[in-house]
């Protein structure tokens, strides 16, 4: 049985978020939670919330399911929409600021 959770429009660039997502891919649920709690990156909090949400979704789908049997089957980070801003520069010029966003998807499974 698979349970899924996703987060859209996360204000962290996909490249930074993938660093943390790659650390927990394939780990069992309790181990992945421990790794995320001890990682000092902004994206680890966001990924932790998504993993906990997927575990709660799994609990709803099957009430007899044990959390210790779950593992991170899939976790992937895609690029979300990019926000484009303008920053004034010297001599009347302007530079573009690109603020990237991410889409996170976590799939937990017990099989």
pLDDT score of 14 more than 90: yes
**Residue 63: strand, helix, or coil:** coil
Domain membership of residue 59 (yes or no) is yes
Domain membership of residue 96 (yes or no) is no
Domain membership of residue 66 (yes or no) is yes
Confidence of residue 111 (pLDDT cuts 50, 70, 90): confident
- Structure token pair of residue 73: 């089957």
Domain membership of residue 35 (yes or no) is yes
Confidence of residue 64 (pLDDT cuts 50, 70, 90): confident
Stated pTM of the model = 0.91
Number of domains present in the structure of the chain: 1
Domain membership of residue 19 (yes or no) is yes
Domain holding 18, by residue range, is: 2-77+103-109
What lies within 8 Å, CB to CB, of 20 at 6+ separation is 36, 39, 41, 43, 44, 47
pLDDT score of 25 more than 90: yes
Residue 19: give its domain's CATH number: 3.90.470.10
The pLDDT value given to residue 16: 96
């Amino acid at each position: 049985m698979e349970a899924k959770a996703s987060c859209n429009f996360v204000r962290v660039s996909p490249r930074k978020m993938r660093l943390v997502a790659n650390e927990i891919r394939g780990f069992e649920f309790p181990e992945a939670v421990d790794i995320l709690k001890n990682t000092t990156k902004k994206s680890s909090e966001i990924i932790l919330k998504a993993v906990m949400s997927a575990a709660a979704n799994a609990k709803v789908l099957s009430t007899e399911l044990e959390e210790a049997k779950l593992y991170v089957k899939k976790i992937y980070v895609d690029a979300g929409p990019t926000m484009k801003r303008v920053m004034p520069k010297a001599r009347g010029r302007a530079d573009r600021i690109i603020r990237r966003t991410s889409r996170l998807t976590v799939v937990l499974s017990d099989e």
